[in-house]
Amino acid sequence: MKRVYKSTVRTCVATFMALMLLTPSFGWANNPEDTPSGGAMVADAVIARPLLLVATVLGTGLYVVSLPFSLAGGNAADAGQALVLEPAKNTFVRCLGCRKAGYQR
């Protein structure tokens, strides 16, 4: 009886500790109810969007230069996604002040 009690207590303690490790991740979860502040919108419009536009143009140029090598390696689609589409999506599709593209207010 004592042996069953010890193993049950150990299992409960281990489960509790594992669940406690997951708790901080709930704080970082994306809450769709949050709206960007005015300061975040201003910083996004003045700083982030111009930098992302430059990153899109430079990424497009780098993609064109590296295209023969990407085609030879078979990863042209991945290179296009990383160098052109992601910066372009964050520049033109993302809402003003949002941190990730695809978030709708």
Q: What pLDDT does 99 receive?
A: 80
Alpha-carbon gap, residue 20 to 14, rounded angstroms: 10
In a domain, 24, yes or no: no
Between CA 14 and CA 7 the distance in angstroms is 10
Number of domains making up the chain: 1
Q: Tokens for 100, please give them.
A: 């990730």
Confidence (pLDDT) at 24:
59
Q: What are the distances in angstroms from CA 94 to CA 10, 20, 102?
A: 48, 34, 6
Q: Is 1 within a domain?
A: no
Question: Whole domain around residue 104: which residue ranges?
Answer: 36-105
User: Is the pLDDT at 105 greater than 70, yes or no?
Assistant: no
Residue 1 has pLDDT above 80, yes or no: no
Q: 101 and 94 in contact (C-beta within 8 Å)?
A: yes
Q: Is residue 31 part of a domain?
A: no
* 100 belongs to a structural domain: yes
Per-residue pLDDT reduced to its tens digit, 29-86 = 555 556 788 898 999 999 999 999 999 999 999 999 999 999 999 999 999 999 999 9
